[in-house]
Amino acid sequence: ARNLVKEFPIRSGGLIRRQVGAVQAVSDVSFSIAEGETLGLVGESGCGKSTLARVALNLIPATSGTVHFGETELTGLPARRMRALRRQMQLVFQDPYASLDPRMPVSEIIAEPLRIHDLYDSGGRQQVRDLMRTVGLKPEHGNRYPHEFSGGQRQRIGIARALALRPKLLVLDEPVSALDVSIQAGVLNLLQELQSELGLAYLFVSHDLSVVRHIADRIAVMYLGKIVETGPSEQMFTAPAHPYTHALISAIPLPDPRRERARERITVVGDLPSPADPPSGCRFRTRCPKFAMELSGEQQARCTDEEPELVDRNTGHPVACHFAEVRSLL
Ligand code: SF4
Ligand code: MG
């Protein structure tokens, strides 16, 4: 994905709904995912990650920018060719219950993509049974309905359905966020097994950095429509360079209470500003602890006036902060 922008028009109320502005939900975002690789896309709710995922899949059109899937450019692709390519990229939703038709038996839910693409033939029944087994469900439960399954099992049904068309890329939008922590690990392990068996690439979207830590090869942290830092997963934890990434990491509870007490929690205060009216200069400045506590007036002026670009600032990976290389108390 290169230089992706997604704007939504803001319209006035009343009978004649004139466009009075635009919300830029995704602002000039570029990223790539290799075959068999997982990119974790992390940020708080409302930062534009779900929109970015949908624009990248061409489920909603980009305002500008390009997306390539292999050699094929998706932007402006005729509907018929997009339909054929759609098989190779599937979306798994956060809330498995809301995304499964309650009146359909599970075997039909899993078979549906095959039917839509005219691929359900004499081998279809067996294919569905195999898919159920692949995701750890009992094939003999195929005639049951979604409400007869637990949350974790429902997410397995959603994954089986997504796998039916043998995709190369799965976009997982908060796939475990609706599940109890005790259930999350099972689904994450399943995703990892499927990836190594099937060579799948994942775009794993989550508001929770600790969830993507072990599953992602690389992580991109998003704030208010932009990627502010991206790099190899472990590096993001051992050498985070953006104050927002620092804050996200320090919000993760440590398993050891002694270490927990010794650690300074860095908190980001206030709400996410409206993407309709982002702060000038660095978008994070209104909530940036470094800006508030460590920078001189002159330095602060730079944050206010100049938008930082996402470039490597001697930190080993790209980061969008003017003062990323300045050692900090954070
Ligand atoms: Fe904070 Fe300034 Fe860096 Fe933005 S550019 S993250 S406001 S220090
Ligand atoms: Mg979302």
Ligand (nearest to CA of 304): 1
Q: Whose alpha carbon is nearest atom 7 of ligand 1?
A: 285
Phi–psi pair at 30, nearest 5 degrees: -125, 140
Question: What pLDDT shows up at residue 315?
Answer: 87
Cβ atoms of 245 and 298 closer than 8 Å: no
**Residue 232 to residue 219: CA distance in whole angstroms:** 6
Quote the DSSP letter at residue 65: E
Q: Is the pLDDT of residue 261 over 70?
A: no
Interval between CA 173 and ligand 2 midpoint (Å):
7
For residue 328, the model assigns a pLDDT of 65
Could you tell me the distance, in angstroms and rounded to a whole number, from the CA of residue 57 to the centre of ligand 2? 15
pLDDT tens-place string over residues 185-229: 999 999 999 999 999 999 999 999 999 998 999 999 999 999 999
Ligand 1 pocket, mutate which of 266, 268, 309, 323 (most atoms under 8 A from CB)? 323
The token duo for 153 is 């099992």
Task: Look at residue 263 in the predicted model and tell me its pLDDT.
Answer: 66
Distance CA 214, CA 175 (A): 15
Our mutation pick for probing the ligand 1 site, out of 321, 326, 328, 329, counting the most ligand atoms within 8 A of Cβ, is 321
Tell me, in angstroms, the distance from the centre of ligand 2 to residue 138's CA: 31
For 7-52, write each residue's pLDDT tens digit. Answer: 998 888 777 788 888 899 999 999 999 999 999 999 998 899 999 9
Per-residue DSSP letter, 177: T
Rounded alpha-carbon distances, angstroms, from residue 212 to 43, 48, 244: 11, 17, 16
**CB 315, CB 275: distance < 8 Å:** no
Q: 253 falls in which pLDDT band (50, 70, 90)?
A: confident
Q: State pTM to two decimals.
A: 0.92
pLDDT digits (tens, 9 = 90+) for 138-182: 999 999 999 999 999 999 999 999 999 999 999 999 999 888 888
Q: Pairing between strand 38-42 and 218-223?
A: parallel
Ligand 1 neighbours by CB, cut-off 6 Å = 243, 282, 284-285, 288, 290-291, 303, 308, 321-323
Q: How far is the CA of 193 from the centre of ligand 1 (A)?
A: 39
CB 330 within 8 A of CB 290: yes
Q: Which ligand is nearest to the CA of 305?
A: 1
Phi, then psi, of 251 in degrees rounded to 5: -80, -15
pLDDT of residue 12: 80
Angle between helix axes 124-134 and 106-116 (nearest 10 degrees) is 120
Is pLDDT at 286 greater than 70 in this prediction?
yes
Which ligand is in closest contact with the Cα of 53?
Answer: 2
19-29, strands of its sheet edge to edge:
19-29, 2-11, 64-66
Percent of the chain scoring above 90 in pLDDT: 75
Average pLDDT over residues 84-88: 92
Query: Nearest Cα to 313, choosing from 304, 300, 303, 326?
Result: 326
Ligand closest to Cα of 44 equals 2
- Compute the distance between CA of residue 123 and CA of residue 118 in angstroms, rounded to an integer: 13
pLDDT of residue 111: 96
Q: Ligand 1, atom 5: nearest CA belongs to which residue?
A: 321
C-alpha gyration radius of the chain: 22
Ligand 1 atom closest to the Cα of residue 303 is 2
- The DSSP output letter for 146 is G
Provide the pLDDT for residue 219: 98
pLDDT value at position 326? 79
What's the token pair of residue 325? 């290389």
Q: At how many degrees (to 10) do helices 106-116 and 151-163 cross?
A: 20
Residue 310 tokens read as 């996402």
Alpha helices in the chain (DSSP H): 49-56, 79-86, 106-116, 124-134, 151-163, 181-198, 209-213, 233-238, 243-250, 257-262, 289-293, 297-305
Give me the DSSP letters along 20-49: EEEEEEEEEE-----TT-EEEEE--TTSSH
Helix (H) or strand (E) holding 287: none
